[in-house]
Amino acid sequence: MAETKENIVMFPFMAQGHIIPFLALAFQLVKTNKYTITFVNTKKNINKLRSSLPRNFSFNLVEIPFNSSDHNLPPDTENTDSIPYNLVPILVEATLSFKPHFRELVSDLVSEQNGQKKPLCIITDFPEASSIHVTQLTDYLRVADGSDSFSVLMQKVLPLWKNVDGIMVNTVEELDKIGLMYFRRQICPQVWSVGPLLLSTGSKDRAGKLGISSQVCKNWLDTKPCSSVLYVSFGSQNTITPSQMMELALALEASGKYFIWVVRPPMGFDINSEFKANEWLPEGFEERITLARKGLVVHNWAPQVDILSHKSVSAFLSHCGWNSVLESLSQGVPIIGWPMAAEQFYNVKLLEEEIRVCVEVARGKSCEVKHQEIVAKIELVMNETEKGKEMKRKACEAKEIIENSIKDEKNYKGSSTKAMDEFFNAAFTMRESTLG
């Protein structure tokens, strides 16, 4: 008789920063050959995955009905990467409409089979329960004074977490001790830290709208000296103002450093619009940097993991989204932080004060930043200054900690590997006893 595998349902929030680590987890779990995985999302996101995943992927993709217009969102918007950032909380709130469909789907999956209910583990972030990066819990920064939209949202979401059986966190125990301690104490004692959940490059390239191929990036990076290139990206959903974009361009040029910059339409422009170099960048910018072989301007989406893992990359100017942070530290790349929203302000604090791999250059989307200030931070990190060398050393230490955490050897299992095993042991034990 064929062995029945245990069932796992995964339902990430509709944002690249959520779908990507969930996919990474799905691939990781498929390899164990122990589980049947059902990956749930809205039609457009599922279609995108269907056309982008390798042909032999072995989990079920299931669509859940969603009509963005019912929630006062632009028609057919099903991912944060295609709406202006101020609409993100509406998209989050709209996920509550999934409840009846999701319940139906789950009850079908646990339905009687040969007189037995099938055990099921649900991993999700925003339908009924949610997961948040632990460093968000402190509340002392001006931008998160309890009345900002992110805090207001979290005040609604946090009480729902009391209903979950356990929380899996995409972080690394040894790097995030204080946050995890608070998390266990204040939210839920059953917290497993299983990160980093990183998607291998090939799959991720296809998960986004790639503005340049990995090979072109690699070829370009191959021509640059070791540790000489700055990578600049603000993730999949944040954008900066036109004046910030001009200052950043001026800074990159003035710094004289090699760089790869992922440019998305600045605020005030249609998020899905074509690239408009002559409106968004200083006159002649692209031509000059291309001619001097100084920089690569990538439109919209770059193969980030490939770039960060190239030996020519020396630093990452980042909005400090948590996936970007983990991807950077996994490669030992220090960060110049420009937090913009959500938990990024807390991430920077953790990176700067605890892990000591980051300096902050600006904060928020409306701050005034002068190109000289950006140049000074780039030089601090990329030149052989005491601070720059110390940050690099700390980033290499973080890389080593991460590598250890995911080790799965005969005589040694890292903290994340152990936590992953424990999570699923606990999940299925709890489920079995609940289902009785």
Decide whether 301 or 424 has the Cβ nearer to ligand UDP.
301
Is position 204 an interface residue for ligand UDP (rule: CB under 6 A)?
A: yes
Is position 306 an interface residue for ligand UDP (rule: CB under 6 A)?
A: no
Work out how close the CB of 319 gets to ligand UDP at its nearest, in angstroms, rounded to a whole number: 6
Report yes or no: 363 and 136 within 8 Å, Cβ to Cβ.
Answer: no
Decide whether 192 or 301 has the Cβ nearer to ligand UDP.
301
Choose one: 51-59, 90-98, 119-127, 229-237; the region binding ligand UDP (CB under 6 A): 229-237
Q: Which amino acid is at 284?
A: G
Is position 235 an interface residue for ligand UDP (rule: CB under 6 A)?
A: yes
Work out how close the CB of 195 gets to ligand UDP at its nearest, in angstroms, rounded to a whole number: 12
> How many beta carbons lie within 10 A of that of residue 254, not counting itself?
13
Work out how close the CB of 320 gets to ligand UDP at its nearest, in angstroms, rounded to a whole number: 8
Return all residues near 95 (Cβ < 8 A) that are at least 6 apart. Answer: 13, 14, 126, 127
Which 3-state string (H, E, C) describes 382-422? HCCCHHHHHHHHHHHHHHHHHHHHCCECCCCECHHHHHHHH
Decide whether 15 or 249 has the Cβ nearer to ligand UDP.
15
Choose one: 128-136, 316-324, 357-365, 375-383; the region binding ligand UDP (CB under 6 A): 316-324
Work out how close the CB of 340 gets to ligand UDP at its nearest, in angstroms, rounded to a whole number: 8
Work out how close the CB of 88 gets to ligand UDP at its nearest, in angstroms, rounded to a whole number: 10
Is position 304 an interface residue for ligand UDP (rule: CB under 6 A)?
A: yes
Calpha distance 193→260 (Å, rounded): 32
Is position 314 an interface residue for ligand UDP (rule: CB under 6 A)?
A: no
Query: 137: which 2 tokens?
Result: 């819990």
Report yes or no: 208 and 184 within 8 Å, Cβ to Cβ.
Answer: no
b/e map 41-59, b = 16+ CB within 10 Å? bbebbbebbeebbeeebeb
Among 238, 405, 415, 416, binds ligand UDP (CB under 6 A): 238
Is position 324 an interface residue for ligand UDP (rule: CB under 6 A)?
A: yes
Decide whether 48 or 204 has the Cβ nearer to ligand UDP.
204
Q: Which residue has the tokens 């450093």?
A: 257
Is position 195 an interface residue for ligand UDP (rule: CB under 6 A)?
A: no
Q: Which helix (H) or strand (E) holds 435?
A: helix 415-435
Question: DSSP secondary-structure letter at 198?
Answer: -
Calpha distance 109→103 (Å, rounded): 10
- Spell out, one character per residue from 8 to 47, where the chain touches ligand UDP: x when CB under 6 A holds, - when not: -------xxx--x---------------------------
> How many beta carbons lie within 10 A of that of residue 179, not counting itself?
21
Work out how close the CB of 205 gets to ligand UDP at its nearest, in angstroms, rounded to a whole number: 7
Is position 331 an interface residue for ligand UDP (rule: CB under 6 A)?
A: no
Decide whether 20 or 129 has the Cβ nearer to ligand UDP.
20
Q: How far is CA 200 from CA 12, 23, 155, 165, 195, in A?
A: 18, 10, 34, 29, 14
Among 301, 346, 423, 428, binds ligand UDP (CB under 6 A): 301
List of residues contacting ligand UDP (CB under 6 A): 15-17, 20, 204, 208, 233, 235-238, 262, 301-302, 304-305, 321-324, 327
